[in-house]
Amino acid sequence: MKVLEEKILVEGRALNENVLKVDSFINHKVDPKLMHEIGKEFAEHFKDQGITKIVTIESSGIAPALMTAYEMNVPMVILKKQPSKVLNDDLYQTLVSSFTKGTSYELTLSSHQISEADHVLIIDDFLANGEAATGALRLLRKAHATTAGVGALIEKSFQPGREKLEAQGVHVYSLARISRLGKGVIEFVQE
């Protein structure tokens, strides 16, 4: 997606070979017009696939997932990373390791929000090692839902996330695929 790649080049900051900061338009301050364009792109790519729900992991995936859900006219479900006093029964849970933070967290889905009748699209801000998406897939499988695929805003193509998901039979659609990062260096996969 050219508009996203241009935004990454102008406002993104590559801190090193693994870290790309996009906090000025995706995950701290959010560009609503860009999120709307992203939602339209995902909706167009995954149209006619019978998607009944959009799922994302809190919190950076919420804006693009909401715009995608809006464009597809389906509900959005947020998988929780933090414990909740009101979300405490009939839960599906799985442990996920965060590459970015170097920690693990328990991902939670209420069994009341997803059912075996659902065909789900997972939307996330980054695809790197594929741990978050794999955790989301585990929860959806526990709910006996099916998955249409994973939509990622930014894929670090030099990390194994895509291969890990595709090995599980999951379709991956990334809007910006980065081939290389370095301090001040951002290069995209040429397609």
Q: Which residues are annotated as a binding site for 5-phospho-alpha-D-ribose 1-diphosphate?
A: 128-132
Buried b (16+ CB within 10 A) or exposed e, 164-180: bbeeeebebbbbbbbee
Q: Return all residues near 185 (Cβ < 8 A) that are at least 6 apart.
A: 14
Element (H, E) at 42: helix 32-45
The phi and psi torsions of 164 (rounded to 5 degrees) equal -60, -45
Element (H, E) at 97: strand 91-98
- Could you tell me the sign of the dihedral formed by the alpha carbons of 64, 37, 28, 185, in that order? positive
Residue with tokens 């990062």, as numbered in its chain: 181
- Distance between CA 151 and CA 49 in Å, rounded? 14
Give me the residues paired with residue 105 across strands: 96
Q: Which residues participate in the annotated binding site for xanthine? A: 20, 27, 156
Q: Which residues participate in the annotated binding site? A: 20, 27, 128-132, 156
